Chains A and B, each alone.
Chain A
Amino acid sequence: MWIYQKKLQYPVRVSKCDPRVARYLVEQYGGADGELSAALRYLNQRYSIPDKVIGLLTDIGTEEFAHLEMIATMIYKLTKDATPRQLEEAGLGPNYVIHDNGLFYNNSSGVPWTAAYIQAKGDPLADLYEDIAAEEKARATYQWIIDMTDDVDLQDSLKFLREREIVHAMRFKEAVEMIKADRDTKKVF
């Protein structure tokens, strides 16, 4: 079971109303390498992965939901009280027509989220290498979004999320080593 915490993992500040960047951030909300994909990918892989890495998948999957909420918060703050005209100028006109200010799980080009973004091969190595690749792709996406904004407050939160991808990739690499190790013996490094 999951218990919600009524707080963000990291403080999110934005310094201006900026629907243009909000649109780019939607990529990390409902895009292929976004936080929703990440959370669902890891939590779903737990049911076929060897017992010794289930804990890691559970915890990283759970942290991804905290990141999803941070992304939602950024989009919320960047578009709060924006006029339909402002949204339209940012390329969010179609989004406004369908959803008003509502968030939707699609990518920055408006393509709806699909389960095809995430894989479960049932093979531990294949799954963990997909996870490592997903983290590196998300890191790269954060870099490109950071490059698109001069809002230092927003950059700050995005840098935090980017660094988390690096730490997660590190842990998944360690999980690969654990999977590769012969027998269930505890290895001391």
Chain B
Amino acid sequence: MSKQLGENYYRKLLELQQLEFALVELTLYLDTHPNDLQALQQFNQLAQQRQQCATQFEMEYGPLMQFGHSFSKYPWQWVETPWPWQV
């Protein structure tokens, strides 16, 4: 089964990648700066934004994570294409 991925898919994915990248950067930074309250607040705020963004993405394009960290519609969506290297 080969479904077409629209422009919307790539835009939503990019938005998620942008949020998650900032979270990666802040994570590594906080690992060596555990007392930076402002960075911590930014981290928590972005984590909340990421959650909303990821939920929206998953509603449209299926689960991002397995083992119960994402929900699935019927039938089981995890095994569906595309995988990350295919897009």
Inter-chain contact A76/B85, CB cutoff 8 Å: yes
A167 interface hit (Cβ, 8 Å): yes
Inter-chain contact A69/B85, CB cutoff 8 Å: yes
- Total residues of chain A contacting the partner, CB 8 A: 30
Inter-chain contact A8/B28, CB cutoff 8 Å: no
Cα distance A5–B19 in the bound complex, in angstroms: 14
Q: Is the interface of A mostly helix, strand, loop or mixed?
A: helix
Q: Is the interface of B mostly helix, strand, loop or mixed?
A: helix
Query: Which of B28, B62, B84 interacts with A167 by CB under 8 Å?
Result: B28
A161 interface hit (Cβ, 8 Å): no
Query: Which of B13, B34, B66, B67 interacts with A7 by CB under 8 Å?
Result: B13
Inter-chain contact B16/A9, CB cutoff 8 Å: no
Inter-chain contact B32/A3, CB cutoff 8 Å: no
Query: Which of A6, A7, A77, A189 interacts with B17 by CB under 8 Å?
Result: A7
Inter-chain contact B32/A9, CB cutoff 8 Å: no
B4 interface hit (Cβ, 8 Å): no
Residue numbers in A under 8 Å from B31 (CB-CB): 53, 55-56, 59, 171
